[in-house]
Amino acid sequence: AASDVYKRQVHGDQNMDTGVKATISLLIHASVLKPCPKLGQALGPLGLNMMAFCKDFNEQTKHIRPDVPMRVKLWAFNNRTYKFILKPPPTAWFLKRVTGTAKGGDKSYIYNGMISVKHIYQIAKIKQQIDPDHKNIPLECIMSMIMGQARSMGYLVGKFAPRPEPVYIKTKGIRQTQFKRI
């Protein structure tokens, strides 16, 4: 879990008025962050104390399950201090959890599963409550964004979409699983 630190992007800002050295976006699993090489590569060049960041991050995410990937936006200042905010997991993670699939589709025309509008609504509520970028966006707009992403990942969105029942088909002694379309 601690090795799942992904450095998304670094924006250098040498503006002396703000004192911001860089802005980093990270994807880190909640409450289990430990010093690791990937985290060192992200924070080391900025001169930040990795142990202090780990303690602060784990303290803020101790109420969240350890398997939840949290997005973190971190600002590193010139005086070797930092400030960070937590954002909810990526929308794709929510959609995969709801549908029970390991990954989304490569092509939107391939059927990967179904998701109900109720689940879309619940994901939108979580994003609106936790994500500072979505605080002032109407819930309908957030739902529209999530439905668009669900469709692009190959999920069917409907009023009621239970999990599809597996249908087993034997072909030349090999058991293949396909899903019924409802």
pLDDT bucket at 60, cuts 50 / 70 / 90: very high
Pairing mode, strands 166-171 and 6-12: unpaired
Residue with the larger pLDDT of the pair 59 and 167? 59
pLDDT at 4 over 90: no
- In this prediction, residues 95-99 reach a mean pLDDT of 89
Q: 138 near 128, Cβ under 8 Å?
A: no
Q: How far apart are CA 53 and CA 25, in angstroms?
A: 14
pLDDT at 167 over 70: no
Tens of pLDDT, residues 15-50: 545 688 999 999 999 888 999 888 889 888 998 999
Give me the residue label for tokens 């959890």.
97
Rounded to the nearest 10 degrees, the angle between the axes of helix 91-99 and helix 117-130 is 150
Tens of pLDDT, residues 151-165: 888 888 887 545 555
For residue 160, what pLDDT is reported? 59
